Every structure is written in C-alpha cells, then in structure tokens.
Structure 1
C-alpha cells in the first residue's frame, strides 16, 4: 500500500474530528444559551451571548486550530506517481 494513503487517511480523520468538535461547540452554545426566553438574553458587542460564543468565537477558534494543524501536523505529500519522472 502506498504510504501516501496512510497519511491521507490520518489527515482525513483529523479533519472529520475537527468538524465534529466544531459542531458540538456550535450546538452546545447555540441551543444551550439560546434556549431561554429572548427577554433573558445577555448581549456581547451587540450580539446575543449564544450567537457570539457559538458563531463568532467558535469560528475564530476553529480558524486558529486549522492554521496550527496545517502548519505543524499535516504533511506536504507529492501527488505524482512514484517513478513517474519526466
């Protein structure tokens, strides 16, 4: 088996795990804080707290996590066939 497939599978699992963690973060804050009556909402920078934490902070954290993963965890792999020299 080509070693690139092992790397690709590992990186795909990292991507799926990141997407699942992001969804759990979003769902937890959106439905956890957002399920109370509108009159009881607290606001951060003009946004309801559930929106601020689920959409704004969540996006920023995931973006930073993706940058760190790409820089330090994921590997640059050649997509050319081995032995296919021109």
Structure 2
C-alpha cells in the first residue's frame, strides 16, 4: 500500500477531530450560556457572552489550531507517482 494513503488517512482523522472539537466548543457555549433568559445575558464588546465565546473566540481558537497543525503536524506529500519523472 502506498504510504501516502496512511498519511492521508491520519490527516483526515485529524481534520474530522478538529471539526468535532469545534462543534462541541460552539454547541457548549451557544446552548450552555445562550439558554438563559435574555435579561440575564452579559455582554462582551457589545455581543452577548454566549455569542462572543462560541462564535468569535471559537473561530479564532480553531484558526490558530489549524495554523499550528499545518505548520508542525501535517506533512507535505507529493502527488506525483514514484518513478514518474518529467
């Protein structure tokens, strides 16, 4: 089996894990803090706290995680067949 498939499967699992982690983060803050009555909301930079933490902080955190993963964990793999030289 081509070793590129092993790398691709590992990196696909990393991507799925990151998507699941992002959803859990979003869902936890959006429905955890957002399920209170509107009168009890606190605001950060003009946004309700549930929105700020779930959408703004979550987006920034996931972007930083993707950058770190792309820089240090994911590998650059050639799409060229071995022995197929131009």
- Shorter-chain TM range is over 0.9
Partner of 1:19: 19
Shift of 1:39: 0.7
> For 2:80 and 2:16, how far apart are their aligned partners in 1?
25
Q: Within 2, Cα distance between the matches of 1:14 and 1:71?
A: 14
Deviation at residue 14 of structure 1 after TM alignment: 0.2
Q: Residue in 1 aligned with 2:64?
A: 64
Partner of 1:39: 39
TM-score (norm 1): 0.99
Unpaired segments ≥5 residues, structure 2 = none
Q: CA RMSD in A?
A: 0.4
- In structure 1, stretches of 5+ residues that fail to align are none
Measure how far apart 1:11 and its partner are.
0.2
- Moved runs in structure 1, 4+ residues, more than 3 A? none
C-alpha deviation, 1:33, in angstroms: 0.1
Q: How many residues align?
A: 86
1:52 Cα deviation after fit: 0.1
